[in-house]
Amino acid sequence: MKPNVAGGGPADAGTAPDAGLAGVEREKAEFELLFDIVRTFDKHVELRTGLGPLLSLLEIRAGLTRGMVTLLDRTTGLLKIEEAFGLSADEKDRGIYRLGEGLVGRVFESGMPVTIPDLSREDRFLNRAKSRTREDMEGLTFYCVPIRSRNGVIGTLSAEKRVEGEDREVLMARDRSFLEKVSSIIADSAKLRERIMEEQFRLTRREGAGAPPDRSRSQGGLIAPGSVIIGTSNSMRDLYGMLARVAPTDATVLISGESGTGKELVAAELHRLSRRAGQVFVKINCAALPESIIESELFGHEKGAFTGALAQRKGRFELADRGTLFLDEIGDLPPQIQVKLLRVLQERELERVGGSATIRVDVRLVAATNRNLESEVKAGGFREDLFYRLNVFPLHIPSLRERKSDLILLADHFVEKYAEKNGKLIKRISTPALDLLTSYLWPGNVRELENCIERAVILSQDMVIHSYNLPPSLQSADSTNTGTTTTLEAALSRLEKELVVEALKSCDGSMAASARRLGISERQMGLRVHHYGINWRLYRTKM
């Protein structure tokens, strides 16, 4: 059951002693969703590319389905659909509204929001999706709110929801209020992009006239990009707070966390936020280098120091002078290298291999490990004095299992990344696929999630990430907690049920349309729905 952050839930009704606590939780969930929506827009330069993920969040987190955003086309004076869930490409193309036409056109013209408690009884609603009947829309609440800019109304945001309960009026008011907040975010985003376009035009004219370009801004007229770290869970917010405190200092930082959690990203963020951000960021993986060359890689060597040393070479410490050096998997350093590293940390000076000259370096050191170095110290595998030199400011990155609330944000980010990389259009992740993603334990953490999404994007053939596009490891019974059977019959049954559910969602719960989509008779469709205990009514307003 999806959380209902905008419209409240059963906990909001009555005057039970914990009603106040439930209200606080609802407000907190609503705030977190609004925050995630803002972060989603921050990742998109173009307004239109951010609307799809926004509408997906509204459906998954707030239960607001068939979301639609229309914007004014100033060249024609008509409202056009920019993004909509539940409409085909042809239906979107037909989604043009004159001012005052239908509910959408009236909201745009008047600038006043509307709430329709039962959509099936509203004659002003223009049913662009002709496959939907009045019966399909019975009991559905329709919301439409204006999107306001500094120069007036620029578009509309609408959505539907089946609102039930004694406090229906209260819940509908909350839904509309929530959508008005979302429309403000869309408006602010539109304003920002309008200013960016104006700035780009101004710079283009200025450079075209021979004036020196303004280099204080990065490509595209945007201010220097922000953090690439994604997550709004409590553990990640704690991490952001610690990062902000230690980054401006020169303190040595030891980052710990499981493999695949993003330790290198955190190290890069430390450098980006530091006073050394204008200098070099040098990184080296201590586990990836043979013991015979790691000393030379770190400290450099003189010509003739050993066989093959044909010329003098600077090590990573020298290359990182005045910048930041990141030592990944530092727990794999051999004992003799640990001794030399300790001296560099204490004295801030080193000698190249085969050399005798002392070289002073000014380096901010950031180290990372997926091992428990305290246990390694007790076992004699890591020097105690070096551990305390490194562990000046420890940072722990939570595993993906500890921050499951960030999973959808991360998945959406990777879908966008690899869809663009592979030249594909991916509009959403199916509900069964989301169920698999959220129930899996992710031993490989964010790196494993990224690899799974990249594979799924490549395999997708209908602009949707389905569960069968995900790797077999996610679909196994053990990883998804769906039982221990692995027989062919059980696997086929799971696939058949998923296809039936997906067809019902795509056809708004219509049994006849779903049967045609699957190429079976209505009788066969009814038998399968009955066999799997599928409540087809739940999908009457789904995609």
Residue 334 sits in a domain of what CATH number?
A: 3.40.50.300
Claim to verify: residue 98 and residue 182 sit in the same structural domain: yes
Claim to verify: residue 360 and residue 295 sit in the same structural domain: yes
Q: State the residue range of the domain holding 44.
A: 10-200
Residue ranges of alpha helices (H) inside 380-423 are 384-390, 407-421
- pLDDT at position 509: 85
Helix (H) / strand (E) containing 365: strand 364-369
What are the Cα distances from residue 226, in Å, to 42, 246, 469? 9, 17, 32
**Tokens, residue 389:** 């030199």
Residue for token pair 């200025």:
206
Evaluate whether 139 touches 162 at the Cβ level (below 8 Å): yes
Domain boundary among 368, 397, 426: 397
Burial grade of 85 (CB within 10 A; 0-12, 13-18, 19 or more): buried
Cα–Cα distance measured from residue 367 to residue 330, given in angstroms and rounded to the nearest whole number: 6
Cα–Cα distance measured from residue 162 to residue 61, given in angstroms and rounded to the nearest whole number: 15
Each residue's pLDDT expressed in tens, for the chain with a length of 543 residues: 344 444 444 334 444 445 566 667 888 888 888 888 887 777 665 677 778 888 888 888 888 988 999 888 766 677 888 888 766 666 677 778 877 788 888 898 888 999 999 888 887 776 655 556 777 788 899 999 999 876 678 889 999 998 887 788 889 999 999 999 999 888 887 776 666 555 544 554 444 444 433 333 333 222 233 567 888 888 888 898 899 899 999 999 999 999 999 999 999 999 999 999 889 999 999 888 887 788 888 988 888 777 777 788 888 999 999 999 999 999 989 888 999 999 999 888 888 888 888 899 999 999 999 999 999 999 988 999 999 999 999 999 999 999 988 898 899 889 989 998 888 888 888 888 888 898 888 999 999 999 999 999 999 988 889 988 998 878 655 444 445 545 777 778 888 888 888 888 888 888 888 888 898 998 888 888 888 888 888 777 544
Cα–Cα distance measured from residue 167 to residue 164, given in angstroms and rounded to the nearest whole number: 8
Cα–Cα distance measured from residue 266 to residue 102, given in angstroms and rounded to the nearest whole number: 50
Give the residue from 77, 131, 81 showing the smallest Cα distance to 100. 77
User: Among positive and negative, which fits the CA dihedral 298, 304, 308, 310?
Assistant: positive
Claim to verify: residue 145 and residue 186 sit in the same structural domain: yes
User: Is residue 491 one of the residues assigned to a domain?
Assistant: yes
- pLDDT at position 222: 24
Evaluate whether 331 touches 284 at the Cβ level (below 8 Å): no
User: Is residue 329 one of the residues assigned to a domain?
Assistant: yes
SS3 (DSSP) at 361: coil
How many domains, in total, are found in the chain? 3
- pLDDT at position 216: 32
Residue 26 sits in a domain of what CATH number?
A: 3.30.450.40
**Tokens, residue 83:** 């993004």
Domain boundary among 366, 397, 428: 397
Claim to verify: residue 266 and residue 346 sit in the same structural domain: yes
**Tokens, residue 313:** 């070479």
User: Is residue 301 one of the residues assigned to a domain?
Assistant: yes
Claim to verify: residue 187 and residue 257 sit in the same structural domain: no
Q: Which residues pair with 158 in a beta bridge?
A: 68, 144
Give the residue from 264, 237, 370, 372 showing the smallest Cα distance to 324. 264
Residue ranges of alpha helices (H) inside 43-101 are 47-62, 89-94
Domain boundary among 343, 374, 397: 397
Claim to verify: residue 346 and residue 425 sit in the same structural domain: no
Claim to verify: residue 55 and residue 178 sit in the same structural domain: yes
pTM of the full structure: 0.51
User: Is residue 213 one of the residues assigned to a domain?
Assistant: no
What are the Cα distances from residue 79, in Å, to 72, 88, 169? 5, 18, 30
Claim to verify: residue 34 and residue 182 sit in the same structural domain: yes
Give the residue from 142, 176, 107 showing the smallest Cα distance to 541. 142
User: Is residue 64 one of the residues assigned to a domain?
Assistant: yes
Residue for token pair 């606590």:
21
Residue 513 sits in a domain of what CATH number?
A: 1.10.8.60
Claim to verify: residue 430 and residue 531 sit in the same structural domain: yes
Cα–Cα distance measured from residue 434 to residue 437, given in angstroms and rounded to the nearest whole number: 5
Claim to verify: residue 36 and residue 113 sit in the same structural domain: yes
- Written in H, E and C, the secondary structure of 459-480 is HCCCCEECHHHCCHHHHCHHHH
Residue ranges of alpha helices (H) inside 225-290 are 234-246, 263-272
Sequence letter at residue 522: E
Claim to verify: residue 135 and residue 19 sit in the same structural domain: yes
User: Is residue 208 one of the residues assigned to a domain?
Assistant: no
User: Is residue 372 one of the residues assigned to a domain?
Assistant: yes
Claim to verify: residue 341 and residue 467 sit in the same structural domain: no
User: Is residue 414 one of the residues assigned to a domain?
Assistant: yes
User: Among positive and negative, which fits the CA dihedral 495, 500, 504, 506?
Assistant: positive
